[in-house]
Amino acid sequence: MRTVKVGIIGCGMIANGKHMPSLAKAGNVEMVAFCDLIEERAQEAAERYGVPDALVVTDYKQLLAVEEIEVVHVLTPNVSHAVISINAMEAGKHVMCEKPMAKTGAEAKAMYEAHLKTGKKLTVGYQNRSRAQAQLLKKMIENDELGEIYFAKAVAVRRRGVPTWGEFLDKEKQGGGPMIDIGTHSLDLILWLMNNYEPESVVGSVFQKLKDTENAANEWGSWDPKQFEVEDSAFGYVKFKNGAVVSIETSWALNIAKPEGSYLCGTKGGADFNGGLRINGERDGSLYLNVIDVDPNAREHFRGEHMSDFEYEAKQWIGSIVNNTEPLVKPKEAMVVSAILEAVYISAETGKPVYFD
Ligand SMILES: NC(=O)c1ccc[n+]([C@@H]2O[C@H](COP(=O)([O-])OP(=O)(O)OC[C@H]3O[C@@H](n4cnc5c(N)ncnc54)[C@H](O)[C@@H]3O)[C@@H](O)[C@H]2O)c1
């Protein structure tokens, strides 16, 4: 396989936690340029993951001007996903952008249009689709093993899990709180499994009920209530054109003892991810619950090679460039996710449902 030259824009948590180590393992990738507003971050990343003479810059446009770079990973806060990704595609680069695709539905649409206009590939970092369990369930659903899926719950509920690094509490930079930050993952996974991208209407509510707690117990340390501008929990109800409904439940802070996970309900069976991939149904007069113990790392597309969801995401993405195939996460799908998330916020603000054309 030929080598793909990659530039990294934004060298913070997700760059270091997911993209750079996974690209380093993908085998046919060279990270040739690194950009961050904080120069030391780009420098450190270059030293750890870059080719010996890797470029280090603080202005992403300098990185985009490098001809040999074929692929750019956009790993900055939500506010700059659209502008950087669009500039990158117009500069002739394929783009992997972190989730959510953009801060608003309009920005996500502009990114999709830039992808169509330039012919450059665009994908979004929804790595939960790369989990082995999710991949297997997708196949089962394609084989009609659940029948018609008419109800699902997209759950991303944390009892206390407020991200206190970066810009997550900043409404202007992120666009919102848990709904746009982690609800986006759950909704993406559910829509992909249902293969339903035709929403009809959305109602939503957002809350700021716990954010003013001083010295709060929290997975990443207490937050500063004065900086907490976004919601601490949010809920949405989506109706689709084919009559199906999806409930979205998401929180960074909620008084709930043991949050349940997402699930799907079909005419032939249901599925959830509680303690493995579980399939429930009725057969010959009995109710059954099968727990499928999926090897989380075995990957049939790569000859059973073992790899994490992060590594699978990177390898599938780079493979789509080299082989000119579709990335796992298609931009039109991610655009619909962004439109629904925004509709939750609009409905919460106006107190009215949002209808899609
Ligand atoms: N896939 C996931 O599960 C997952 C997890 C965490 C974060 N994310 C997403 O990744 C993105 C970044 O989050 P993070 O946790 O890495 O934040 P972070 O603050 O740790 O890192 C962001 C980096 O981008 C840099 N930056 C900001 N604007 C820039 C610009 N215009 N040009 C160059 N560099 C710029 C910052 O200096 C910072 O180093 C967010 O959109 C977030 O939603 C995804």
User: Where are the domains positioned within the chain?
Assistant: 4-128+306-329, 131-303+337-355
Q: What is the CA(287)–ligand 1 centre distance, in A?
A: 46
Flag whether pLDDT at 300 surpasses 70.
no
Residue 303: per-residue pLDDT = 61
Q: Please state the rounded mean pLDDT for residues 30-50.
A: 98
Other Cβ atoms within 10 Å of 227 Cβ, number: 13
Residue 172: per-residue pLDDT = 94
- The pLDDT confidence band at residue 181, using thresholds 50, 70 and 90, is very high
Ligand 1 pocket: which of 16, 22, 36, 81 to mutate (most atoms within 8 A of CB): 36
Backbone angles phi, psi at 345, to 5 degrees: -65, -40
Flag whether pLDDT at 260 surpasses 90.
no
- The pLDDT confidence band at residue 177, using thresholds 50, 70 and 90, is very high
Report the distance separating Cα 335 and Cα 331, nearest Å. 6
Q: What is the CA(7)–ligand 1 centre distance, in A?
A: 15
Flag whether pLDDT at 231 surpasses 70.
yes
Query: Residue 125: CB within 6 Å of ligand 1?
Result: yes
- The pLDDT confidence band at residue 294, using thresholds 50, 70 and 90, is confident
Flag whether pLDDT at 302 surpasses 70.
no
Q: Hunting for tokens 């746009």 — which residue is that?
A: 180
- The pLDDT confidence band at residue 80, using thresholds 50, 70 and 90, is very high
Flag whether pLDDT at 299 surpasses 80.
no
| Percentage above 70 pLDDT, the chain | 98
Flag whether the pTM goes above 0.95. Answer: yes
Query: Residue 38: CB within 6 Å of ligand 1?
Result: yes
Residue 278: per-residue pLDDT = 96
Q: Please state the rounded mean pLDDT for residues 223-235.
A: 97
pLDDT tens string 92-131: 999 999 999 999 999 999 999 999 999 999 999 999 999 9
Residue 191: per-residue pLDDT = 98
Check the CA dihedral 249-253-254-258 and report its sign: positive
Task: Give the closest residue (by CA) to ligand 1 atom 25.
Answer: 10
Query: Residue 98: CB within 6 Å of ligand 1?
Result: yes
Residue 322: per-residue pLDDT = 97
- The pLDDT confidence band at residue 5, using thresholds 50, 70 and 90, is very high
Flag whether pLDDT at 190 surpasses 70.
yes
Report the distance separating Cα 194 and Cα 141, nearest Å. 8
Closest among 185, 99, 150, 131 to 297, alpha carbons compared: 131
Q: What is the CA(180)–ligand 1 centre distance, in A?
A: 14
Query: Residue 77: CB within 6 Å of ligand 1?
Result: yes
Specify the ligand 1 atom closest to the Cα of 41.
39
Q: Tell whether domain 4-128+306-329 is in CATH 1.10.10.10.
A: no
Residue 69: per-residue pLDDT = 98
| Percentage above 90 pLDDT, the chain | 92
Q: What is the CA(130)–ligand 1 centre distance, in A?
A: 21
Query: Residue 41: CB within 6 Å of ligand 1?
Result: yes
> Residue type at 251?
S
Q: Is 28 exposed, middle or buried (0-12, 13-18, 19+ CB in 10 A)?
A: middle
Q: What is the CA(47)–ligand 1 centre distance, in A?
A: 19
Q: Hunting for tokens 């790569």 — which residue is that?
A: 302
> Residue type at 254?
L
Residue 222: per-residue pLDDT = 96
Task: Give the closest residue (by CA) to ligand 1 atom 40.
Answer: 77
Query: Residue 12: CB within 6 Å of ligand 1?
Result: yes
Judged by DSSP in three states, 17 sits in: helix
- The pLDDT confidence band at residue 295, using thresholds 50, 70 and 90, is confident
Task: Give the closest residue (by CA) to ligand 1 atom 15.
Answer: 13
Flag whether pLDDT at 1 surpasses 90.
no
- The pLDDT confidence band at residue 258, using thresholds 50, 70 and 90, is confident
- CATH number of this structure's domain 131-303+337-355, picked from the four choices 3.40.50.300, 3.90.420.10, 3.30.360.10, 3.90.580.10: 3.30.360.10
